[in-house]
Amino acid sequence: MVTKRDEVTGEWRKLRNEELNDMSFAPNILWVMKWRTMRWAGQVARMGERRDVYRVLVGKPVGERPLGRRRHRWEDNIKMDLQEVGCGGCGLDLAGSW
């Protein structure tokens, strides 16, 4: 637990996670993971259709799926990450689906 004296009231208080993150110089782990995933997707997109990794990324599942919410594919997650950082597609075109 990290405490700090409040500048206005002079009382001691616990620091919130956001305040601790602002004080540290470490990058946000979620952004690092998304950045690495998007970098990987760009490399796969440049590989070509004949590579197995490319087929895994853009492949459609075969067979029956369980009932309930549709599962996300790698491609779906990458699209959401690109939209979140404001890069709608950035010229990536995996099998024309982006």
Assigned domain for 97 exists: no
> Is 6 among the domain residues?
no
| 23-60 tens-digit pLDDT | 877 777 888 888 898 898 888 888 888 888 888 777 77
Q: How far apart are CA 95 and CA 13, in angstroms?
A: 54
In the chain, how many domains are there?
1
Would you give the DSSP letter of residue 13?
A: E
In a domain, 13, yes or no: no
In degrees, rounded to 5, the angle at the alpha carbon of residue 50 between the alpha carbons of residues 84 and 64 is 65
Q: Which residue range(s) make up the domain with 34? A: 28-60+69-84
pLDDT tens-digit readout, 64-94: 767 777 777 777 878 888 888 777 655 555 5
Is the CB of residue 55 less than 8 Å from the CB of residue 95? no
Residue 14 is assigned to a structural domain of this protein: no
**Residue 74 within a domain:** yes
**CA 72/CA 75 separation, integer angstroms:** 8
Whether residue 79 lies inside any domain: the answer is yes
Start-end of H helices in 48-86:
52-58, 74-84
Tokens 């990324």, located at residue: 57
Is residue 90 a part of any domain in this protein?
no
